[in-house]
């Protein structure tokens, strides 16, 4: 491989790839734990973990060992064939999520698409079974979602979005989605119609700005969905896998959905893998030719996912996320800076909302100068989602760097 400079790499990327992100002018060469190392050898504190993907730290030796061991056997197997690692993954994931059945995917937005198909098929099967007494007629199914959601950028997920920045220039959209305010149980009750087949929400909104709903909200929506006989779906692609100090954010209220979407950190920060898990009467509806994915259920991804679940089941990582997250939020709040409007979150799923007028791009650049990689969630919310192995002393560095940036704004 040609030995290129960091400037050469930045230029190459800009010249031949789609401009999907406004990339910071830094070239990452390797990672270790909570640290990233640049091409020039600079060490940066990772306060971002690639959208809450790298929960167990960069180059986690247990994850790497699982990957290498499986890669020496076989990496991919046709979905029409059986594989022991894939079977173990399916069994373990159902046990880990307390689900009856799973439907494998590669990335989170694919899992969302699969959940939409499951909800709609359930409604239309009811039509064929009960005829005139069915509540859903063909092509009329409605799925309720929340404003400010982020379920991905494929067409069903984009159609469910209310963010004009994601939607502009991409219509027409997939019909059948009804958006209500997040955290408002009464709005859910009002929105349900005879055509409603399910309610999909993030227990904590991530990309929308790290919004935590009022206490008891998830229990309320569970009761409402039960009463209306519609499915409740939790998108825990970001808020799951220990991120909030429990395996899943919904565990804080002890609420179990009919379907749960998992992804991101499920792949141990090494490979993409995702799934829809849930009730037999829903996931069990999928039959041959209903759905499929060439690489879903691939042994290499399954192997790292199994080890990721092993790590979480030991409990140390989730306990650390709860303890260090509370510690970090307390110290940021103690800064009491007029430009900080609110600090909110759960575990290490934290948002710091800034006053309007603070440039998000400039904020990230200044934090980079302080030796940290951060990311925004929404226009004015700085996201703190580091690897869950971060220590209190390492968060002290983050607070100190933030304090230095605030002094310069």
Delineate the domains of the chain, giving CATH numbers in brackets.
63-313 (3.40.640.10), 316-384 (3.90.1150.10)
Place of tokens 């929308």: 208
pLDDT for the residue 132: 46
* Cis peptide bond N-terminal to 390, omega within 30: no
Cα separation, 233 vs 282, in Å, equals 11
Cα separation, 212 vs 199, in Å, equals 17
186 Cβ contact partners less than 8 Å away, ≥ 6 residues apart: none
For the segment 382-398, the average pLDDT, to the nearest whole number, is 98
pLDDT tens per residue, range 268-287: 999 999 999 999 999 999 99
pTM of the model as a whole: 0.96
Q: Which of 205, 403, 24, 30 is nearest to 395 (CA)?
A: 403
pLDDT for the residue 211: 97
pLDDT tens per residue, range 126-175: 766 654 445 677 788 999 999 999 999 999 999 999 999 899 999 999 99
- What are all long-range contacts of 124-133, with beta carbons under 8 Å and residues at least 24 apart? 125/285
Q: Which residues are tagged catalytic?
A: 150, 235, 264
For the segment 48-75, the average pLDDT, to the nearest whole number, is 98
Token representation of residue 348: 């290490």
Q: Which of 403, 313, 388 is nearest to 347 (CA)?
A: 388
Q: What percent of the chain has pLDDT over 90?
A: 88
Please say whether the beta carbons of 160 and 145 come within 8 A. yes
Bridge partners, residue 115, by sequence: none
Cα separation, 21 vs 158, in Å, equals 17
Cα separation, 321 vs 249, in Å, equals 12
Token representation of residue 144: 């309720």
Tell whether the model's pLDDT for residue 101 goes beyond 50.
yes
pLDDT tens per residue, range 244-255: 999 999 999 999
């Amino acid at each position: 491989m040609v030995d290129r400079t960091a400037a050469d790499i930045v230029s190459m990327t800009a010249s031949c790839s789609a401009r999907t992100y406004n990339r910071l002018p830094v070239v990452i060469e390797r990672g270790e734990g909570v640290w990233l190392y640049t091409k020039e050898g600079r060490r940066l504190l990772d306060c971002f973990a690639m959208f809450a993907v790298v929960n167990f730290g960069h180059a986690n030796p247990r994850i790497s060992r699982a990957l290498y061991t499986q890669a020496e056997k076989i990496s991919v197997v046709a979905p029409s064939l059986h594989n022991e690692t894939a079977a173990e993954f399916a069994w373990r994931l159902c046990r880990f999520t307390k689900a009856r059945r799973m439907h494998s995917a590669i990335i989170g937005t694919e899992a969302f698409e699969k959940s939409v198909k499951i909800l709609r098929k359930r409604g239309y099967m009811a039509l064929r079974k009960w005829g005139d007494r069915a509540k859903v007629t063909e092509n009329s199914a409605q799925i309720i979602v929340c404003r400010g959601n982020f379920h991905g950028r494929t067409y069903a997920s984009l159609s469910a979005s209310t963010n004009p920045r994601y939607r502009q220039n991409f219509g027409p959209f997939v019909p059948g989605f009804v958006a209500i305010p997040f955290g408002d149980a009464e709005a859910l009750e009002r929105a349900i119609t005879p055509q409603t087949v399910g309610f999909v929400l993030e227990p904590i909104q991530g990309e929308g700005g790290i919004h935590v709903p009022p206490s008891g909200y998830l229990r309320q929506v569970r009761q409402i969905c039960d009463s209306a006989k519609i499915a409740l779906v939790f998108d825990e692609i970001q808020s799951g896998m220990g991120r909030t100090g429990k395996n899943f954010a919904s565990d804080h209220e002890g609420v179990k959905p009919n379907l749960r979407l998992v992804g991101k950190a499920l792949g141990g920060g090494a490979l993409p893998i995702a799934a829809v898990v849930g009730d037999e009467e829903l996931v069990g509806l999928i039959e041959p030719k209903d759905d499929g994915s060439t690489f879903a259920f691939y042994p290499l991804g399954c192997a790292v996912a199994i080890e990721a679940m092993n790590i979480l089941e030991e409990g140390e990582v989730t306990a650390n996320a709860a303890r260090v997250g509370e510690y970090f939020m307390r110290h940021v709040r103690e800064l009491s800076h007029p430009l900080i409007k609110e600090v909110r979150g759960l575990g290490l799923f934290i948002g710091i909302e800034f006053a309007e007028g603070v440039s998000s791009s400039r904020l990230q650049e200044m934090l980079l100068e302080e030796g940290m990689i951060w990311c925004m969630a929404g226009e004015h919310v700085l996201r703190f989602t580091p690897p869950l192995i971060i220590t209190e002393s390492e968060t002290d560095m983050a607070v100190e760097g933030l304090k230095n940036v605030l002094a310069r704004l």
